[in-house]
């Protein structure tokens, strides 16, 4: 019987378990889970603070998931070593797990820059795990002044989640705009406005230089008093296990279309990996839930001896704050087509006759039609692109293509 070991227990691990079971009902599966929880929807932690969900509904899979799939889960245990020659994973505590195939699905960790005086701050938090969210929820009071360092997705989602629970929230970032990795200044401005209208304060193009207990001294000379500090500066892929075992690692663990690393029988999936973005051809970390699941599933099928490839990953985001949604996907390069109104913005990037990327704000109805054009590399010459730019509709496809899509043949 094949022995499969999965390191990590997030969405990528869940995908891996389902991938293995789709190809092999017998294989032995052991999951090493540093967190003491069954797999949950990590992005839900901000919705939990907001009161839109609760731990009873955050489980990513049903309560009998591991049992049904015949998995042994080692909760609260960490893999500390990987030996690709002896084919063994070493756990904290020293015991080893032999494997025939292993998947590193270790996610990422919050990155904390070495701020001066950070050790003098009593109430400081990261925002990555359910435990983080629960400790933060327990620490805030109705009159707390919260300072969030980092205006990326995680920092802003944390701000939205905390808004109804605290007195004041300020978000600071070195970048001159919010969501700087996915939005340009104009688009970012629209999202920032919505956040400001809902009582979130911003200090952008400014960074904390030093902390002293409950004061942040900013580069601009400003001093910000706070009771609660949340550090959402960024995340780093957990690559150490593969790197130390001699595997190829960039910003993430390098994987191919089968999710195989450069080490034999060592697969990797999810936020800890870097792979090819099919909209640009560049290798990058695409740390997103759908990619994590699909990579995990692909790894699982291959670990079980099946054949699967995942060759159309792209960065894609659905980001909403206080009811205003933005969706982005792919790469912003090539010719720009833009349509704007007061409440909406649509940008499409076209190169080599293909849709390469988009940014939509306000109206995001049926956006998946656009996303699939990028992922499936549909030649724009074969669709009515002028119509599509107005609205996402399958009427832009030819009748023959529609018949193929709707009429029988699976996609």
Partner 1 sequence: MKRVYVNEEWCLGCHLCEYNCAFANSGKNDMATALKGKRIFPRIHVEGADKITYAVSCRHCADPICVKSCISGAISKKDGVVCIDRDKCVGCLTCVLVCPFGALAPGEDGVMQKCELCLQNGVGAPACVTGCPNRAIVYEERGEEE
Ligand X SMILES: Cc1cc2nc3c(=O)[nH]c(=O)nc-3n(C[C@H](O)[C@H](O)[C@H](O)COP(=O)(O)OP(=O)(O)OC[C@H]3O[C@@H](n4cnc5c(N)ncnc54)[C@H](O)[C@@H]3O)c2cc1C
Asked if 59 touches partner 1 (CB under 8 A), the answer is: yes
Which residue, 229, 258, 233, 208, is CA-closest to 108?
Answer: 233
Which residue, 292, 245, 240, 252, is CA-closest to 269?
Answer: 292
Give the pairing of strands 208-212 and 200-204: unpaired
**Cα–Cα distance between 308 and 19 in angstroms, integer?**
9
Residue of 27, 34, 97, 294 interacting with ligand X (CB under 6 A): 34
Distances (CA, A) of 217 to 150, 167, 207, 242, 311: 15, 21, 8, 39, 46
Asked if 301 touches partner 1 (CB under 8 A), the answer is: no
Q: How far is the CB of 402 from partner 1 (least distance, A)?
A: 7
* Residues in binding contact with partner 1, number by CB under 8 A: 48
| Contact window for partner 1 (CB under 8 A) among 108-116, 237-245, 254-262, 393-401 | 393-401
Of 60 and 99, the one with the shorter C-beta distance to partner 1 is 60
**Cα–Cα distance between 213 and 222 in angstroms, integer?**
16
Of 78 and 372, the one with the shorter C-beta distance to partner 1 is 372
Which of partner 1, ligand X, none does residue 53 bind to, with CB < 5 to 8 Å depending on kind?
A: partner 1
Asked if 150 touches ligand X (CB under 6 A), the answer is: no
Q: Is the Cβ–Cβ distance between 87 and 3 less than 8 Å?
A: no
Asked if 407 touches partner 1 (CB under 8 A), the answer is: yes
Which of partner 1, ligand X, none does residue 411 bind to, with CB < 5 to 8 Å depending on kind?
A: partner 1
**Cα–Cα distance between 373 and 367 in angstroms, integer?**
10
Q: Is the Cβ–Cβ distance between 18 and 303 less than 8 Å?
A: no
| Residues 259-298: x where in contact with partner 1 by CB under 8 A, - otherwise, as a string | ------------------------------xx--xx--x-
Structure tokens that stand for 284 in this block = 């990058």
**Cα–Cα distance between 360 and 337 in angstroms, integer?**
12
- For the chain, percent helix, then strand, then coil, each to nearest 5? 30, 30, 40
Binders in 86-105 for ligand X, by CB under 6 A: 105
Asked if 59 touches ligand X (CB under 6 A), the answer is: no
Which of ligand X, partner 1, none does residue 340 bind to, with CB < 5 to 8 Å depending on kind?
A: none
Q: How far is the CB of 122 from ligand X (least distance, A)?
A: 23
Q: Residue 297 in 3-state DSSP? A: helix
Q: Which residues bind to partner 1, rule: CB under 8 A?
A: 14-15, 41-44, 47, 52-53, 57-61, 289-290, 293-294, 297, 316-318, 320, 325, 327, 329, 364-369, 371-372, 376, 392-395, 399, 402, 405-411
């Amino acid at each position: 019987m094949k022995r499969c070991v999965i390191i990590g227990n997030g969405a990528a691990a869940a995908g891996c378990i389902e991938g293995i079971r789709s190809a092999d009902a017998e294989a032995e599966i052991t999951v090493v889970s540093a967190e003491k929880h069954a797999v949950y929807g990590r992005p839900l932690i901000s919705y939990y603070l907001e009161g839109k969900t609760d731990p009873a509904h955050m489980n990513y899979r049903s309560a009998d998931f591991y049992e049904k799939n015949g998995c042994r889960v080692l909760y609260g245990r960490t893999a500390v070593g990987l030996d690709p020659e002896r084919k063994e994973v070493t756990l904290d505590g020293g015991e080893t797990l032999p494997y025939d195939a292993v998947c590193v699905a270790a996610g990422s960790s919050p990155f904390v820059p070495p701020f001066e005086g950070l050790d003098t701050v009593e109430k400081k938090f990261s925002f990555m795990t359910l435990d983080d969210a629960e400790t933060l929820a327990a620490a805030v009071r109705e009159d707390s002044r919260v300072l969030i360092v980092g205006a990326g997705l995680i920092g802003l989602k944390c701000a939205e989640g905390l808004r109804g629970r605290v007195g004041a929230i300020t978000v600071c970032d070195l970048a001159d705009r919010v969501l700087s990795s996915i939005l340009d200044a104009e688009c970012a401005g629209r999202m920032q406005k919505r956040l400001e209208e809902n009582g979130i304060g911003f200090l952008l193009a400014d960074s904390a230089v030093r902390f002293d207990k409950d004061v942040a001294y900013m580069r601009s000379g400003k001093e910000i008093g706070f009771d609660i500090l949340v550090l959402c500066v960024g995340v780093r892929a957990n690559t150490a296990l593969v790197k130390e075992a001699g595997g190829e690692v960039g910003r993430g663990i390098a994987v191919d279309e089968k999710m195989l690393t450069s080490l034999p029988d060592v697969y990797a999936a999810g936020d800890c990996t870097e792979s090819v973005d099919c909209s640009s051809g560049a290798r990058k970390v695409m740390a997103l839930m759908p990619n994590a699941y699909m990579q995990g599933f692909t790894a699982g099928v291959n670990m079980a001896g099946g054949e699967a490839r995942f060759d159309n990953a792209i960065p894609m985001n659905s980001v909403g704050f206080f009811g205003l949604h933005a969706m982005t996907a792919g790469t912003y390069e090539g010719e720009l087509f833009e349509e704007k109104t007061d409440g909406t913005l649509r940008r499409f990037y076209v190169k080599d006759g293909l849709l390469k990327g988009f940014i939509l704000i306000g109206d995001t109805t049926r956006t998946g039609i656009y996303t699939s054009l990028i992922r499936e590399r549909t030649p724009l010459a074969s669709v009515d692109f002028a119509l599509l730019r107005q609205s996402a509709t399958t009427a832009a496809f030819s009748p023959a293509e529609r018949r193929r899509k709707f009429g029988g043949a699976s996609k």
